[in-house]
Amino acid sequence: MAAMAKSGPVAVLAGDLGGRLFYAVLLAAAVLVPLLNLAVPEGSLLHLSGFSVTLIGKYMTYALLAIAVDLIWGYCGILSLGHAAFFALGGYAMGMYLMRQIGSRGVYGDPLLPDFMVFLNWKALPWYWHGFESFPFAMLMVVLAPGLLAFAFGWFAFRSRVTGVYLSIITQALTYALLLAFFRNEMGFGGNNGLTDFKDLLGADLHRPAVRIALFLASAVALGLGYAACRLIAASRFGRVVQAIRDAESRTRFIGYRVESYKLWLFAFSAVLAGIAGALYVPQVGIINPSEFSPINSIEVVIWVAVGGRNTLYGAALGAVLVNFAKSWFTAALPEVWLYALGALFVLVTIFLPQGIVGFVRQRLGGKS
Amino acid sequence: MRRPSILAGPGWLMLAGLIWLLCHNTVRADDAAPAPLPADYAGLLAALPQADYADKAQIVHNLAVLAAPHTREVLAALHDGRLETRQGDGKLFLVEERGDALALTDAVSFAAAGEGKPDDFERVRTNNALRRAIEVALAQLDLGDTSPKVRAAAVRQMRQHLDEDLESALRQRRGQEQDAGVRHQIDLALAVADLGSGDAAARLAAVRALDGETAPDVYNALAPLAGAGGAAPTESDPQVLAAAIAAVRHIQNWRDFYGALETLFFGLSLGSVLVLAAIGLAISFGVMGVINMAHGELMMLGAYTAYVMQQLMPAHPGAALLLSIPAAFLVSGAAGVVIERTVVRHLYGRPLETLLATFGLSLVLQQLVRSVFSPLNRSVVTPQWMSGLWQVNELFSITWIRLYIVIFMLLVFALLWLVMNKTSLGLKVRAVAQNRGMARAMGIRTERVDAMTFGLGSGIAGMAGVALSQLTNVGPNLGQGYIVDSFMVVVFGGVGSLWGTLVSGLSLGIVNKLLEPYAGAVIAKILVLVFLILFIQRRPRGLFPQKGRAAEGM
């Protein structure tokens, strides 16, 4: 660890086998997926359907979310059971921009109001919907909405030294409260239907194959950059203090570090990453609704991280992709078995693979990272 | 039923025949008038099916004035849609479903007339206005009842639909009424009628008589006089106006008082549900430090136990429900012991990992229930003695089921408190919770105690599930809705404190219900959650924190 910190950023990123593999796979996907989708003719065996491109793109946003959770759970010991809330907030910010882009092409043809507002007989656009017609403003909100919420929440929670299980439970309460709030039609976010029927992004039709590929590549780039950022943070001086907090919080405080500030900045950054993942997720799946806030979703993210292996970052990404791939496969082939499989996975991983798949492989390879 | 039959069947038949003849004569005499109504019982009844709704109301009124021996039963049947005409001869019958057939009672002779096929009969149609007319007519008939209670209820019923006919009927009754309570009711009804009188003195007397009456219809009659709710007062006489304003204010005070009482009770019953859901968790989370995310699913198992018991004893839903309380304790408790022995045992001291593993278990349990019982909701029957209302007075009523939930919660709490404080198991549980190593050194088999403790918490969850089966749909998702709430209750109350759980559950329930009128149900819930988040920041160990060295390590 210490040796890594001395060298430059490239050395940090390429310093471990897992990280090199992560980038290799990401690069391969970024090259192969567009190639197989656009260049290979549709009848061919090697052709990748548009559906699959979107699916892989979706997995990448999940992987980014998992990395965000691993950054605070694996490196700082903060188990957030509300990270899906930040993901959903980023998604809603993006969704609001996409809704404004529909303009007068909605079912009711109102140039200003989204369909659901016309349906609810609203006369004017609520103040918080203004500005979202501009892409830069919407992107700013993708970062600010989850970031500020996390900052405010963390400000209260960490300064009053709420830790461990208690913190997990209040993060769960946070996402539950948001779930209830976003279900209300009066909130102005489309109630339980959420935001959908998106048409285009930056003037490009969302249903065109090229736009799909562009979104996929954007997700891949975001995942790569997000991983790099987390890895660099973890290897930095800041990151080493954070890991000290995870291992012995009181001792770190007594040495003289302001534990709450470290936790606060890390938590807010992690929330921003989750928000960016959500913003990339929404245009690919074409809908955002309040069920994204449900506490179950946040717990599932934690499971991805646990399955892949916490405290490794690439393990979190691996877990997210594997679990979601299994979910897609099971729900299509054996829908009634999926919950058994997922449930059993949680139990078995926590009991037999406390370090996840990555930890298991490392052990097999000789107990060294 | 209350009314003894005065005329036996055959005698009544003869009389009816006689009137029928008379009726034919009168009809012939009034040939010129536009379709006059018959004046006799049988004739009125015969005209009923074909009449339009206005005529039907008139017929009902005339029947009540005639007050033939079985008018009450016939009108009640008409009100409930049990009066039907036979296709073919058009005769009227009171019908009662008996299996696939209808048991018939002739509406004119009131003699049993065998059975018939439902397809041969057509119901005499009613609408809301007609049903209200029938209710008033029934009340008029009840005015002559032998029971003062029935008479008083009839007067109250009539008071809500006062017109000149009813008023004169009441005045007439006032003269001959013996019972003081009924006389008082009649005076009130007449006072309501007098509010519309042209004489200011009569109105003043009426307002004074009504002062302090809490019934909603009295308030509705008084309010316009005093101009309540921002409207201009309709009363012009200043003295009457002052009296009316005072009377309305008194009534308003009572209404506010009972409204507050009702809110309090709703809060108490919601709080009881929260306590029931959380109290098992107070054991497994509070005492053992295990975050059991499958707690909601253990409640769900309890609710399904109630369903299965009722399926096993279809004839006695009430007894089945009572028996399912211990059964649910055993089922969920056994499930808890199995969970502890197979999963939780490996994860002591790693609370975050138990959270994940038990969440996995909750998914498995949900899917198991889906596979065994289908994903659809199952209905658990509410026994007769638990349904219905307890009408304390006109402004305040309590549903029995809510009251039983509060009582059940107190019983469960008392039982758990006794187990924890007065039994050797409770002593061992507390000893292990405080200092595992020391307890082991004293010869306590901690592994066994762990299993029993977890089983106890799970069993209590099962019992809570039986209670929930009476309140919500029994389905695979029953448990999910309670998990966040129950953790909040335990954390708010102070982990490891039974009393804390009780106080926090009840107070959260009451606060929720107090906020609801101002903010709406969802916002109230969100406000409570936000309050809890802020509260935990201030006092991370809850209302009643555990003290001592053991508490520091958590």
Which sign, positive or negative, has the C-alpha torsion B136, B141, B144, B147? Answer: negative
Q: Do A344 and B364 touch (CB under 8 A)?
A: yes
Q: Do A176 and B484 touch (CB under 8 A)?
A: yes
State residue B341's pLDDT score: 92
In degrees, to the nearest 5, what angle opens at C-alpha B18 toward C-alphas B16 and B23?
A: 90
pLDDT tens-digit readout, B28-79:
444 444 456 777 888 888 888 888 888 888 888 888 877 777 888 888 888 8
Determine which of A78-87, A101-110, A180-189 has the lowest per-residue pLDDT on average. Answer: A101-110
Kindly state the average pLDDT of the residues A48-68.
92
Closest Cβ–Cβ partner in B346, B367, B533 for A174 = B533
Reply yes or no on whether the pLDDT at B26 is more than 60: no
Query: Closest Cα of chain A to B526: distance in Å?
Result: 5
Reply yes or no on whether the pLDDT at B299 is more than 60: yes
State residue A1's pLDDT score: 43
Closest Cβ–Cβ partner in B291, B366, B533 for A170 = B533
Q: Give percent of chain B above pLDDT 70.
A: 91
Residue type at A190?
G
Residue type at A113?
L
Whole-prediction pTM: 0.75
Give the integer Cα–Cα distance in Å for B107 and B48: 12
Residues of B in contact with A299 (CB under 8 A): 293, 356, 359
Q: How many CB pairs under 8 A join A and B?
A: 117
pLDDT tens-digit readout, B454-484:
999 999 999 999 999 988 888 888 888 788 8
Where residue B412 falls among pLDDT bands split at 50, 70, 90? very high
Kindly state the average pLDDT of the residues B197-209.
79
Residues of A in contact with B357 (CB under 8 A): 346-347, 350-351
Give the integer Cα–Cα distance in Å for B93 and B110: 9
Which of the residues B343, B484, B534 would you substitute to probe the A interface, choosing the one with the greatest number of A C-beta atoms within 10 Å? B484
Residues of A in contact with B373 (CB under 8 A): none
Q: How many CB atoms lie within 10 A of CB B7?
A: 16
Kindly state the average pLDDT of the residues A87-96.
94
Per-residue tokens: B551? 């508490």
In this complex, is the C-beta atom of B51 within 8 Å of any C-beta atom belonging to chain A? no
Determine which of A125-134, A312-321, B115-124, B439-448 has the lowest per-residue pLDDT on average. Answer: B115-124
Kindly state the average pLDDT of the residues B201-223.
79
Closest Cβ–Cβ partner in B362, B480, B491 for A166 = B491
Give the integer Cα–Cα distance in Å for A196 and A181: 18
ipTM: 0.80
Give the integer Cα–Cα distance in Å for B155 and B187: 10
Give the integer Cα–Cα distance in Å for B243 and B226: 9
- Residue A98: HSE in the Cβ half-sphere, 13 Å Cα cutoff: 29
Closest Cβ–Cβ partner in A173, A181, A184 for B533 = A173
In this complex, is the C-beta atom of B357 within 8 Å of any C-beta atom belonging to chain A? yes
Domain regions of chain B by residue span: 9-133, 143-236, 273-382+447-552
Q: Give percent of chain A above pLDDT 90.
A: 44
In this complex, is the C-beta atom of B26 within 8 Å of any C-beta atom belonging to chain A? no
Q: Which residue of A has its CA nearest to B294?
A: A343
Dihedral Cα A241, A247, A252, A254, nearest 10 deg: 180
Where residue B554 falls among pLDDT bands split at 50, 70, 90? very low
In this complex, is the C-beta atom of B552 within 8 Å of any C-beta atom belonging to chain A? no
Scanning B517-536 for CB atoms below 8 A from A yields 522-523, 525-526, 529-530, 532-534, 536
State residue B504's pLDDT score: 92
Q: Do A343 and B487 touch (CB under 8 A)?
A: no
Q: How far is residue B529 from each of residues A74, A341, A348, B123, B236, measured CA to CA in Å?
A: 27, 33, 33, 53, 52
Query: Closest Cα of chain B to A180: distance in Å?
Result: 7
Q: Do B491 and A160 touch (CB under 8 A)?
A: no
In degrees, to the nearest 5, what angle opens at C-alpha B190 toward C-alphas B187 and B196?
A: 145
Long-range interactions of B221-227: CB distance < 8 A, separation 24+: B221/B192, B221/B195, B222/B195, B222/B247, B222/B248, B222/B251, B223/B248, B225/B195
Give the integer Cα–Cα distance in Å for B303 and B467: 8
pLDDT tens-digit readout, B477-491:
888 878 888 888 888
Which of the residues A159, A327, A351 would you substitute to probe the B interface, choosing the one with the greatest number of B C-beta atoms within 10 Å? A351
In degrees, to the nearest 5, what angle opens at C-alpha B13 toward C-alphas B12 and B16?
A: 85
Q: Which residue of B has its CA nearest to A152?
A: B534
State residue B16's pLDDT score: 53
Per-residue tokens: A346? 């949680």
Cα A153 versus chain centre, distance: 19
Where residue B548 falls among pLDDT bands split at 50, 70, 90? low
Residues of B in contact with A339 (CB under 8 A): 363-364, 366-367, 370
Closest Cβ–Cβ partner in B352, B370, B529 for A177 = B529
Scanning A127-156 for CB atoms below 8 A from B yields 153, 156
Alpha helices in B30-81 (DSSP H): 41-47, 53-66, 71-79
Q: Do B357 and A345 touch (CB under 8 A)?
A: no
Domain regions of chain A by residue span: 2-365
Closest Cβ–Cβ partner in A173, A346, A351 for B359 = A346
In this complex, is the C-beta atom of A177 within 8 Å of any C-beta atom belonging to chain B? yes
Where residue B199 falls among pLDDT bands split at 50, 70, 90? confident
Work out the mean pLDDT of chain A and round it to a whole number. 88
